[in-house]
Structure 1
Amino acid sequence: MKKARIKTPLGVAEICGDENGISSITILEDSNILSTKIPEELSTCADQLNDYFEGKLTDFNLPLNPKGTPFQKSVWQALTEIPFGKTMSYQELSIKLGDIKAIRAVASANGKNPLWVVIPCHRVIGSDGSLTGYAGGLWRKKWLLEHEQPSTQIRLFE
């Protein structure tokens, strides 16, 4: 398994993967160690993450190889179908997956998403529009959602 660490506006992201695809992207709380050389298998992912954070990319196109149960993988696949700049509630996601009663299982699978940002679990919110749990911290979820919905309004007052 190859690893690389890159700087993002939200901290250092660690990318793990091999020739079969990217298996995980995690945000590290306390790390100043960055990779000086990105393995070839991870370079496209690093480039696409940088482009995303620079506002140049809205859809990732990467070979993914996350480890999880078939149910988790079905939830993660559904997450990739939430368009850039849009959100969906856990309830809506459960209905989309065919079982409104599976809302807790869907939320659990969402929380175990191993591919930070690339599988956009940050786009899932509470039914009332609230920002609900996020493994990377709610401040990061808020940042990501604002990044994907930049305001075009000019501020007149600070």
Structure 2
Amino acid sequence: LVGYENRALREQDFNNDKVDAGDIGAGHQVTAIYEIVPAGKKGWISPRRYEDKVSVAAAGRMTEAAHVKLRYKLPKSDTSKLIDYVVTNRDIANARAPRGDFAFAASVAAYGQLLRGDELMNGFDFADAGRLAGRQTDYWRQEFLRLNDVAGSLKDTGSGG
């Protein structure tokens, strides 16, 4: 979950309702943006010590791109509920480009990754982040676009990270 790398929950704690992984208050909403790392590729989480390596032939035939498990508790509940969803390769291949608020949120996440010098951006730069955000009329979103432009110009002149 981009931006929450320091909140990674230990696997053995996922089903434990007594372990807090983060709170979203009533009446609030959150946009979660996940990085999907293809099998055999490098992501920000280190490979597991005893993880089986996937053969090239098997990776080419895999239909699952990701398995998303999310636990949540309703207000005044002590027991969590599970959402368990498989993201298929077809889902990703047929996905539309992000639009609206989600495109803006993805742009902000990319901006943060660019600022920290993430090596996994595959050539995505500040100009791409600005294009993804699109035209904005909200003052704070316009300020973000200005910050993005400044960061991009500093990077272009060699003055920034």
Richer in strand (by share): 1
**Normalised-by-shorter TM-score class:** under 0.3
Whose relative contact order is higher, 1 or 2, with alpha carbons under 8 Å and at least 6 apart?
A: 1
TM-score (norm 1): 0.25
Structure of higher CA gyration radius: 2
TM-score scaled to structure 2, two decimals? Answer: 0.24
